[in-house]
Amino acid sequence: MATSAGVGFSDHRNPAAAGKEAALQALEKAGIAKPDFVFVFATVGYNQQTLIRAIREATAGAPLSGCSGEGIITREIVAETNFGVAVMVISSEELRFNNAMVTGVGDGAGPAGERLAAEIRPYLGADSIACFLMADGLVFNFDPFLNSFETALRREGHQGHLPFFGGLAADNWASRKTFQYHNDEIFSEGLSCVAMSGSGGVASGVNHGCVPVGSKRTITRSRGNIIYEIDGVPALEALQDYLGEDWREHWNKTSLNVCLGFMTPEHLKNGYEEYIIRYMIGKDDKEGRVIIQSEVSEGTGLWIVRRDKELITCGMQTISSQIREQLAGRKPSFVLQFECVGRGKVFLREREKIELIRGLQQEVGEGIPWIGLYTYGEIGPVVSNNCFHNFTSVVAAVY
């Protein structure tokens, strides 16, 4: 046995029963009694502590990482529901998994990146393959986190590019509290990270499928991840024509339909689409400002963008082609998928959504253990650069 993985799912409303059912299914499909590692994605209707405790008991206390999402994806299930949990168990002679956690991300993503580097550094070496990162989707700012993390690793002597794959934890549109998991601990405003090392690799694909509408605009005042002015007027005023009449009362819905597109930097263009997409996670009516999940500088051009069903479908085919090319005939041991909530039921009919995911899974390969979730933001590399994405699908096939 080289690497064995299995995925189980439950939508039982009792958290203890759901956790046990999903974990036992996963163990049975993998054909193992005790895993080396466990990934868990769940929605927020459950008592999270009870849910994770049940999974830990069923998997003999194996190391565990994961987070909450707006929905769950497996080979059999694509479910955006308040009660759903997926468990992936892995046993491997080729791969090693070491996990770490950091809290207090809301107090500063930069310091959190430095602390995570210190936690994960002992597990990194010449055979390190990638890290999987699950972060709080309500407070995370990617750019200062990544800069501090990578700077700290270089300072400590780690050489080479370490790819990041992951997503931002979600809470079913409530925008109140998301959850991250690390072994027995359930926490918020944190990071859950898994370092994977060994003799394998990751084949990946990233695509969003959005198009610009209207003409180019320019950010004229900003600080960090806050946009104060566009074309010399408050950001919300500049976006007024696109927001609709009820945007103040229904911001979540509005911000799904009015997203910002930034021209892809030159060093990323060979591996990505023309625009990088940013979701406006927050606003301030009084000052007219909007908040995104990465840094932006004054003078940056932007476009209003919308999702396009045809481009999303073609984008999934692009992802599968990228993965198959990187695999070069190898079969993945398992797949993790991080899918934006804006590409789920808020945009696609149920049949369309299921067909989109099923088509991708069939193209990558039948029978491969597959776990994913609907996120508030996605993380995946482009041309050897770790990048943050919105309205995007990030797929990582581990071989």
d(CA 100, CA 90): 17
**pTM score:** 0.95
How many secondary structure helices (H) and strands (E) does the chain include?
A: 9, 26
Structural domains of the chain sorted by starting position, each given as residue range(s) with its CATH number in brackets: 3-206+312-398 (no CATH), 210-306 (2.40.10)
Burial 153-166 (b: 16+ CB within 10 A, else e): beeeebeeebbbbb
**Which residues neighbour 372 within 8 Å (Cβ) at sequence distance 6 or greater?**
41, 72, 73, 74, 86, 335, 336, 337, 338, 339
C-alpha neighbours within 13 Å on the C-beta side of residue 82:
7
If phi > 0 it is left, if psi is from -120 to 50 it is alpha, else beta; for residue 110 that is alpha
Structure tokens at 281: 């996670």
Pairing of strands 275-278, 282-284: unpaired
Let me know: does 10 contact 25? Beta carbons within 8 Å: yes
Task: Determine how many CB atoms are found less than 10 A away from the CB of residue 167.
Answer: 31
If phi > 0 it is left, if psi is from -120 to 50 it is alpha, else beta; for residue 31 that is left
Let me know: does 203 contact 168? Beta carbons within 8 Å: no
141-187 pLDDT, tens per residue?
Answer: 999 999 999 999 998 777 778 999 999 999 998 889 999 999 999 99
77-99 pLDDT, tens per residue?
Answer: 999 999 999 999 999 999 999 99
**Which residues neighbour 355 within 8 Å (Cβ) at sequence distance 6 or greater?**
none
Per-residue pLDDT of the chain (399 residues; tens, 9 = 90+): 599 999 999 999 999 999 999 999 999 999 999 999 999 999 999 999 999 999 999 999 999 999 999 999 999 999 999 999 999 999 999 999 999 999 999 999 999 999 999 999 999 999 999 999 999 999 999 999 999 999 999 987 777 789 999 999 999 988 899 999 999 999 999 999 999 999 999 999 999 999 999 899 999 999 999 999 999 999 999 998 888 777 887 787 788 888 999 999 999 988 789 999 999 998 999 999 999 999 999 999 999 999 999 999 999 999 999 999 999 999 999 999 999 999 999 999 999 999 999 999 999 999 999 999 999 999 999 999 999 999 999 999 999
Query: How would you list the strands of the sheet with 385-389, edge to edge?
Result: 95-103, 190-198, 128-136, 164-169, 378-382, 385-389
In terms of Cα–Cα distance, which of 270, 271, 174, 262 is closest to 218?
Answer: 262
d(CA 358, CA 372): 13
